[in-house]
Amino acid sequence: MNEKDKPTVLLEFYLKKLRLPTMLREYAPLAVVCREDRSDFPTYLLRLVERELLDREKRASERRIKEAAFPVVKTIDTFDFKSQPSINEQLVRELLRGEYVDKKENVLLIGNSGTGKTHLACALAFAACAIGKNVRFYTVNGLVTELLESRDEKRLQRLQKQLQRLHLLVLDELGYVPFSKTGAELLFEVISRAYEHQSLMVTSNLPFEEWNEVFGSERLTGALLDRITHRCHIIEANGNSYRLSHAKKQSRQKRSQTDIVNTVTE
Ligand code: ADP
Ligand code: MG
């Protein structure tokens, strides 16, 4: 090995060992730029370290988004508040900042089917990922099935520990299918453990009075509602289904286009 090459070979070895991949990739090209800029050594080092830090944050955020297992990635940019005036936009915007997660407060999204509850839950949870929170998205039935399976396979404790490590647990679509007694109890345990330790975000098409029907027990439902609704932000969506109004609008547009064509060809 040429004596001149020795420091860079060693440097690259150390950067790899210290797990600094961005610095490894950037140290040489950035040195050229800094030489041209006549930047001093601390400035060069600062810029190099900044790049490593930014890349590391980006990788961590990507990892958190992957681990959150979103059904689809929806963000707030594509949400049209005008078409759903019943939704409190100011509250949603405040929740996007994620302080509720630090305070371990819950979010409930209640309303008819198709009013954007899942979209908003994804957008809020996505925003939480972006500010460094560990998030996991489940449909309620998906989680209940996983809890039941893991209990049968004697790995319930491991799953419970995984869930407890989260800052925010999203439970989408409460109310579509009622649970078995065991399923309801296992879900109740997750919600109980989360109380004042983690944030829950629950979406449901059922008003509170009807939650009994899903959990099958008035006592359990009462205790559960008590825990979820204590320190909780409620977003209500009472409008029409976005899909339905969208489809109607499109078919109206199509019809009027056909009318134009017909008038022109007549
Ligand atoms: P819900 O969970 O309340 O049944 P979804 O969030 O699944 O409703 O919404 C159904 C579809 O309509 C999704 O594709 C969603 O992105 C879209 N959607 C609903 N409301 C809006 C809105 N206000 N702006 C943009 N897209 C919307
Ligand atoms: Mg939904």
pLDDT, one tens digit per residue, over 228-241 is 998 999 999 987 77
pLDDT confidence of residue 176: 80
Domain boundary among 23, 38, 64: 64
Q: Decide whether any atom of ligand 1 lies within 6 Å of the 83 Cβ.
A: yes
Query: Is 254 among the domain residues?
Result: no
Weakly modelled stretches of the chain, pLDDT under 50 = 264-266
Pocket perturbation via mutation, ligand 1, pick of 86, 109, 118, 119 by most ligand atoms within 8 A of CB? 119
Strand order of the sheet with strand 106-111? 135-139, 168-174, 199-204, 106-111, 232-237
pLDDT confidence of residue 185: 93
CB atoms within 10 A of CB 75: 14
Query: Is 236 among the domain residues?
Result: yes
pLDDT confidence of residue 178: 81
Q: Are residues 197 and 229 in the same domain?
A: yes
pLDDT confidence of residue 248: 66
Q: Are residues 228 and 150 in the same domain?
A: yes
* Ligand 1 closest atom vs CA 173: 2
Q: Are residues 102 and 218 in the same domain?
A: yes
Query: Is 255 among the domain residues?
Result: no
Q: Are residues 144 and 37 in the same domain?
A: no
**How far, in Å, is the centroid of ligand 1 from the Cα of 151?**
34
Assign residue 114 the CATH number of its domain: 3.40.50.300
Query: Is 249 among the domain residues?
Result: no
Q: Are residues 76 and 120 in the same domain?
A: yes
Q: Decide whether any atom of ligand 1 lies within 6 Å of the 79 Cβ.
A: yes
This prediction's pTM: 0.84
Q: Decide whether any atom of ligand 1 lies within 6 Å of the 115 Cβ.
A: yes
Query: Is 126 among the domain residues?
Result: yes
Query: Is 246 among the domain residues?
Result: no
Q: Are residues 204 and 93 in the same domain?
A: yes
pLDDT in tens, 161-175: 999 999 999 999 998
pLDDT confidence of residue 240: 77
Query: Is 258 among the domain residues?
Result: no
Number of folded domains that form the chain: 2
Q: Are residues 42 and 75 in the same domain?
A: no
Q: Are residues 102 and 177 in the same domain?
A: yes
Q: Are residues 89 and 206 in the same domain?
A: yes
pLDDT in tens, 69-97: 999 989 999 999 999 999 999 999 999 99
Domain boundary among 19, 42, 64: 64
Chain mean position to CA 264: 50
Q: Are residues 43 and 111 in the same domain?
A: no
Q: Are residues 138 and 182 in the same domain?
A: yes
Q: Are residues 30 and 140 in the same domain?
A: no
Query: Is 29 among the domain residues?
Result: yes
Enclosing domain of residue 96 = 69-240
